[in-house]
């Protein structure tokens, strides 16, 4: 089940990569052709509150 469509995931990953320290980057990058690979290694936790939800995205490269 995909909670996040590929375009939204790509935008999230781009924002994450902009926050990384200098010299660091996402291992798979943020190119459109690589976005589907993230679906295999990302685990998403959904936390709900009274006024909304929060998505916690865990990118785990162990075993890749």
Residue 17 within any structural domain of the chain:
yes
Answering whether pTM is above 0.75, one says no
Spatial separation of the C-alpha atoms in residues 48 and 64, rounded to whole Å: 30
Residue 31 within any structural domain of the chain:
yes
Domain count, the chain: 1
Whole domain around residue 34: which residue ranges? 6-59
Residue 1 within any structural domain of the chain:
no
Residue 26 within any structural domain of the chain:
yes
Residue 64 within any structural domain of the chain:
no
* % pLDDT > 90, the chain: 25
pLDDT, tens digit (0-9, with 9 covering 90-100), for 33-50: 999 888 888 887 889 988
């Amino acid at each position: 089940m995909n909670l996040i469509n590929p375009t939204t995931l790509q935008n999230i990953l781009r924002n994450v990569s902009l926050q990384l320290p200098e010299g660091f980057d996402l291992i798979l990058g943020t190119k459109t052709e690589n976005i589907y690979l993230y679906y295999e290694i990302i685990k998403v936790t959904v936390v709900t509150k009274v006024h909304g939800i929060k998505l916690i995205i865990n990118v785990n490269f162990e075993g890749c």
